[in-house]
Amino acid sequence: MKILLLDKNHPLITDQLLAKNFILEEDFTSSYDEVCNKIEQYDGVIIRSRIPLDKNFLEKGKKLKFIARVGAGMENIDIPAAEKLGIQLINSPEGNRDSVAEHVVGMLLVIMNRLFIASQEVKNGIWKREENRGDELLGKTVGLIGYGNMGKATAKRLSGFGCKVIFHDIIPGLSDEYATQVTLDELKKSAEILSLHIPLTSETHYLIDEAFIAGMEKDFYFVNTARGKNVKTKSLVNALKSGKIKGACLDVLEYEKSSFENIENENEDLIYLLQSEKALITPHIGGWTHQSKEKLAQFIVDKIVASYC
């Protein structure tokens, strides 16, 4: 089988697939149109996020048997078109679930205990203790939306901090030793921390908006390591200003490029987030550890080999 690799990944992908007699071609620079013009040559594609695989692309891939995305989200692939064409879709959410979960916990500890703010103050000769009094995770009720790989890994860690973890998911019967499944209304009533672990779909686009935030009974901390467009930024900013959201931990932003490489545009809401002490922002690195890079790649290789060797 001939496979096209469109993004740089861990070298184990190349090493192990070559050892299994796959034919590999790397192309990390060609444009969408250039790749479309040659995709009919390949049996499989391995991607991250550089190029969208839309209906036009998939229809040109006459020989395509599979698309493997090194990561969790599949929103850059036209899934209905792929399924209609009989193209297998492979991803590897198992590979970065631990790094995402640790990122969630790390961001919460930083913002709830004012660690970054206090550190910067001390480095600038400012010594404040009472003003930097923290807020403990112990005893907090954490509400997760989505209970797949990322949600479960996050629940496991937060339960170890003495949190009560509840979650809402469209799939029933997912409760386990770390978290209890509840209705969305129950989650909104109880949660003191809200964390998103959902894909970006038509149903989850702008899930967190004015109405959702207003429906939360308690003031709360908010964490998003899912997708930026799950959240309407203006609604988030207004809630931070009013105090309804006590602090926001954002690893993803509404204004990211589809490739996640940078910000597409700046506006007053983004500027507010970048300047606010109530917002902690990282550049889409929740699943971006040295260990996850290897694990993401290994899961992809294992799944390809299992299906095509």
Q: Are strands 88-91 and 66-69 parallel, antiparallel or unpaired?
A: parallel
> Is 133 one of the catalytic residues?
no
Distance of CA 148 to CAs 69, 100, 109, 140, 168, Å?
17, 12, 23, 22, 11
Note if 256 is an active site residue: yes
Q: 7 phi and psi, to 5 degrees?
A: -140, 150
Asked if 214 contacts 191 with a C-beta cutoff of 8 angstroms, the reply is no
Catalytic residue among 254, 256, 261, 277: 256
CB contact at 8 A, 85 and 64: yes
- Among candidate residues 205, 284, 290, 294, the one labeled active-site is 284
List all residues 6 or more positions away from 49 whose beta carbon is below 8 Å from its beta carbon.
7, 71, 76, 258, 259, 260
User: Is 284 annotated in the active site?
Assistant: yes
Candidate list 10, 50, 69, 227, residue with the active-site label: 227
Contacts (Cβ under 8 Å, ≥6 apart) of 55: 78, 81
Active-site positions? 227, 256, 284
